[in-house]
C-alpha cells in the first residue's frame, strides 16, 4: 500500500502534463480568434474604406446610446444573479454582485490560464462564503440557464412581429420555440416535486458532471419556497436581452443607414441565434464567432452581410469598453485573484461552472 506521501507525489506528478496542455489550448484560442476576425475584416474591408473615406458617417449619438443601454442591461444581469444568491440566504450584497460580475465580464476576454469569466466568479464567490460553497457556485450556472432561456423567449416572441422574408425562417423558429418550451418545462419541473423524481436524481450519479446536478438540486429546495424570485429573474432576463439586442440595433444605426438594415423585429429574431453561436464556439468572448454569425444573419434577412459585420464590430467595441470597467476591480484585487487561481489550479480546478461569453 502506498504511503500518503507516495500517493501525494504520484498525484502531483501526474497533473502537470494535462494542466500544461489545457493551458496551451486555452491560450491558443486567442490566435484562432484573431485570425478569424482578421479574415472577416479583410473580407469586409470595403465597409471600413467607406467609413475612412467619409462616405459613411459614424452616428456618435447612436453609439453612445448603445453603450449606455448595453451597460445598463449588463448591470441588470448582475442584479439577476444577486437575487439568485440572496434567495439562498447567503451573505451577499449588490455591490458584491457588481464587483464579481464586472470581473467575470472582463475575464471573458482576458482569462489567465484555463479559466473564464464564470470560473473567476465561481472561485471568488466560493472564497467569500463560509458554508455551502458548492451551492453558491451553482447559482452561476442557474443564472446562465435563466439567461439562455430568456434569450430564446425574446427570439421566439419576435416571430409575431416579423414582416420580411427570412431564409430558413421555419428552422430558426423551431430552435427558438422549441428551446423556449423545453426551458419553461424545465423551470416548471424545478419548482415542483418532480425535481426530486428518480430520473432527475439519477443525473447526480453521472460521472464528472453529476456533482453539478447535485449542487443545483441542493438549491432547488430554497427556490421552491421562493417561486416569485425565480419568476422575477426570468422577467429581468427578458428585459435585459431586449436591452442588449436594442443596443446592437443602435450600433448598427451608428455605422449604417436604416434603409440598409433589417428591421428591429428581425434583429430580435436573428441576433439571439447569433449570440448563442458566439457562446457555443469556444473562443474568448466569442470573438470572430459572433461577428461571423451576425454577418450570416444579415444575409439570411436579405441585407448586405458586410453591413452586418460592421454592425457587429461596433457592438464588439461597445462591449470591450464595458469590459474595461472590470479592469478597475481587477487592479484592486489583483494579488487576491492570483492567489485564489493558483490555489484552484493546485487542486486540479475543483470548482466547476459553465463557460461564459456575452449573451447575458
- Cα torsion through 338, 342, 33, 292, rounded to 10: -80
Q: Hey, which bits of the chain come out as E strands?
A: none
Average pLDDT by stretches of 10, the chain with 360 residues: 42 44 70 90 88 88 96 95 90 89 83 60 77 78 90 96 94 96 89 79 82 75 86 95 97 94 97 92 86 96 95 94 80 67 52 42
Contacts of residues 30-35 at CB distance under 8 Å and 24 or more positions apart, as own/partner, are: 30/284, 32/283, 32/288, 33/283, 33/284, 33/285, 33/287, 33/288, 33/289, 34/287, 34/288, 35/288
**Residue 74 within a domain:** yes
Cβ contact 293:278 at 8 Å? yes
Task: Give the domain extent around 197.
Answer: 29-346
**Residue 8 within a domain:** no
Calpha distance 294→281 (Å, rounded): 14
Cβ contact 220:142 at 8 Å? no
Question: What pLDDT shows up at residue 8?
Answer: 39
Cβ contact 141:353 at 8 Å? yes
Calpha distance 29→12 (Å, rounded): 27
Whole-structure pTM value: 0.81
**Residue 316 within a domain:** yes
In the 8-state DSSP scheme, what is residue 71? Answer: H
**Residue 238 within a domain:** yes
Number of domains in the chain: 1
Give the C-alpha distances (Å, rounded to integers) separating 187 from 139, 155, 190, 197, 333.
Answer: 14, 18, 5, 15, 36
Question: What pLDDT shows up at residue 334?
Answer: 67
* Beta-carbon count within 10 A of 178 CB: 12
> How is residue 224 written as a grid cell?
421552491
Cβ contact 91:114 at 8 Å? no
**Residue 58 within a domain:** yes
The answer to whether the Cα torsion of 64, 259, 315, 233 is positive or negative is positive
**Nearest CA-CA partner of 230 in 189, 200, 177:** 189
Calpha distance 143→120 (Å, rounded): 15
**Nearest CA-CA partner of 232 in 83, 75, 74:** 83
Cβ contact 167:252 at 8 Å? no
Triad 129, 130, 136: Cα angle to 5°: 40
- Can you tell me which residue has the cell 469569466? 117
Calpha distance 150→356 (Å, rounded): 16
Element (H, E) at 31: helix 16-43
Amino acid at each position: 500500500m502506498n504511503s500518503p506521501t507516495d500517493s501525494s507525489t504520484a498525484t502531483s506528478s501526474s497533473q502537470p502534463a494535462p494542466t500544461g496542455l489545457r493551458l496551451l489550448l486555452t491560450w491558443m484560442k486567442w490566435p484562432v480568434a484573431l485570425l478569424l476576425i482578421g479574415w472577416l475584416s479583410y473580407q469586409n474591408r470595403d465597409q471600413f474604406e467607406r467609413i475612412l473615406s467619409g462616405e459613411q458617417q459614424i452616428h456618435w449619438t447612436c453609439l453612445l446610446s448603445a453603450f449606455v443601454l448595453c451597460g445598463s442591461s449588463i448591470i441588470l444581469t448582475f442584479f439577476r444573479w444577486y437575487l439568485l444568491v440572496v434567495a439562498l440566504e447567503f451573505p451577499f450584497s449588490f455591490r458584491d454582485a457588481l464587483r464579481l460580475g464586472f470581473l467575470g465580464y472582463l475575464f471573458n476576454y482576458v482569462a489567465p490560464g484555463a479559466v473564464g469569466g464564470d470560473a473567476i466568479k465561481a472561485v471568488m464567490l466560493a472564497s467569500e462564503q463560509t458554508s455551502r460553497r458548492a451551492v453558491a457556485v451553482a447559482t452561476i450556472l442557474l443564472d446562465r440557464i435563466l439567461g439562455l432561456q430568456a434569450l430564446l423567449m425574446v427570439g421566439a416572441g419576435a416571430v409575431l412581429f416579423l414582416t420580411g422574408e427570412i431564409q430558413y425562417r421555419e428552422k430558426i423558429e423551431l430552435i427558438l420555440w422549441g428551446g423556449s418550451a423545453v426551458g419553461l418545462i424545465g423551470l416548471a419541473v424545478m419548482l415542483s416535486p418532480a425535481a426530486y423524481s428518480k430520473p432527475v436524481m439519477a443525473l447526480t450519479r453521472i460521472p464528472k458532471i453529476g456533482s453539478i446536478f447535485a449542487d443545483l438540486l441542493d438549491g432547488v429546495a430554497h427556490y421552491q419556497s421562493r417561486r416569485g424570485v425565480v419568476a422575477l429573474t426570468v422577467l429581468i432576463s427578458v428585459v435585459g436581452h431586449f436591452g442588449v439586442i436594442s443596443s446592437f440595433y443602435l450600433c448598427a444605426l451608428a455605422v449604417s443607414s436604416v434603409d440598409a438594415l433589417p428591421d428591429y423585429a428581425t434583429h430580435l429574431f436573428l441576433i439571439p441565434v447569433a449570440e448563442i453561436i458566439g457562446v457555443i464556439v469556444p473562443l474568448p468572448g466569442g470573438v470572430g464567432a459572433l461577428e461571423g454569425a451576425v454577418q450570416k444573419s444579415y444575409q439570411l434577412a436579405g441585407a448586405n452581410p458586410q453591413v452586418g459585420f460592421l454592425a457587429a464590430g461596433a457592438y464588439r467595441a461597445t462591449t470591450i469598453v464595458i469590459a474595461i470597467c472590470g479592469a478597475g476591480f481587477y487592479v484592486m484585487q489583483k494579488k487576491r485573484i492570483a492567489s485564489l487561481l493558483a490555489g484552484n489550479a493546485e487542486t486540479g480546478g475543483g470548482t466547476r461552472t459553465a463557460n461564459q461569453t456575452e449573451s447575458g
